[in-house]
């Protein structure tokens, strides 16, 4: 007789548990947004506090789904005075919390402008130095880029998803050019990060939450963009894609 050994911590969440995860996630997000805004209101908000809140919020979200994290690779010294952009695979809403928990530094997501219109969350993101770049308006885009560059020069590490949208199966989707323009405009060091297995926690465009999933965060070799121009854009995109593909491995590369 063949016996199958099952991991008792890995399971598909029941409807009730899914509701608990969703409500818990919304509640945690509202709570930490409120904490940020209250500290900002009383002049007691600073970058280390925001870093702490981001990591506590992220760890709490991951505990709700019992995700098990492993981090591999050499993490750069984000405090060496250079500008950094983390270019991460994007297969789940949990990519960002996983990054906050796994990597050091003052990491801030380059956010879509629509997120800033969400009550409480949007105001908290602005207070917490989450930047946005609106390329549909040239004058606004120039101001946004100058602000993003200033943030990076002051120590903020930007998190971006070159795919632009979530992959349903963990395989790489086509890249958008926006974040690569930003990297070249700011002469940033690009840090490729692949998150394996995250698409199983909450597959894109579904409510199927799977508990106890192993998640493998892989940090690749940084790519310098100093001295590169717009003419090098395609070369940089190709190189970043190659590094992310290698980090994902055969099982989740595309």
Over residues 211-227, the pLDDT tens digits come to 999 999 999 999 999 99
pLDDT > 70: what percent of the chain? 93
Nearest-angstrom CA–CA distance, 77 and 83: 11
Tell me, letter by letter, the H, E, C secondary structure of 48-90: HHHHHHHHHHHHHHHHHCCCEEEEECCCCCCCCCCCEEEEECC
Compute the distance between CA of residue 80 and CA of residue 219 in angstroms, rounded to an integer. 18
CB of 170 within 8 A of CB of 198?
A: yes
Burial (CB count within 10 angstroms: exposed 0-12, middle 13-18, buried 19+), residue 226? exposed
The pair of three-digit structure tokens given for residue 64, joined into one six-digit string: 């709700």
Residue 171 pLDDT: 87
* pLDDT given at position 111: 84
Q: In which element (H, E) is residue 210 found?
A: strand 210-211
Rounded Cα distance between 164 and 6, Å, is 35
User: Which pLDDT tens digit goes with each residue over 115-148?
Assistant: 888 999 999 999 999 988 776 777 777 788 788 8
Predicted confidence band at 44 (pLDDT cuts at 50, 70, 90)?
A: very high
- Give the confidence band of 5 by pLDDT, cuts at 50, 70, 90: very low
Packing angle between helix 233-248 and helix 178-186, nearest 10 degrees? Answer: 110
Separation of alpha carbons 78 and 58, rounded Å: 20
pTM score, whole prediction: 0.88
CATH of domain 16-248: 3.40.1130
């Amino acid at each position: 007789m063949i016996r199958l050994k099952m991991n008792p911590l890995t399971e598909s969440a029941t409807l009730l548990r899914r509701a608990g995860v969703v409500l818990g996630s919304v509640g945690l997000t509202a709570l930490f947004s409120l904490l940020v805004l209250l500290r900002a209101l009383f002049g007691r908000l600073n970058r280390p506090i925001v870093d702490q809140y981001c990591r506590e919020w992220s760890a709490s979200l991951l505990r709700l789904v019992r995700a098990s994290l492993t981090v591999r690779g050499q993490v750069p010294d984000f405090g060496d005075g250079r500008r950094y952009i983390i270019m991460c695979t994007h297969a789940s809403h949990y990519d960002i919390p996983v990054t906050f928990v796994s990597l050091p530094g003052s990491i801030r997501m380059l956010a879509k402008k629509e997120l800033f219109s969400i009550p409480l969350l949007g105001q908290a993101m602005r207070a917490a130095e989450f930047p946005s770049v609106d390329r549909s308006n040239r004058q606004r885009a120039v101001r946004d880029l100058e602000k993003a560059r200033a943030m990076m020069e002051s120590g903020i590490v930007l998190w971006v998803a070159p795919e632009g949208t979530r992959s349903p199966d963990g395989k790489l989707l086509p890249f958008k050019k926006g974040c690569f323009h930003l990297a070249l405009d700011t002469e940033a060091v690009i840090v490729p990060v692949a998150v394996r297995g995250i698409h199983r926690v909450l597959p894109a465009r579904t409510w199927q939450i799977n508990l106890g999933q192993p998640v493998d965060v892989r940090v690749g070799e940084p790519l310098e963009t100093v001295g590169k121009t717009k003419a090098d854009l395609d070369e940089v995109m190709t190189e970043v894609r190659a590094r992310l593909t290698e980090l994902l491995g055969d099982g989740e590369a595309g």
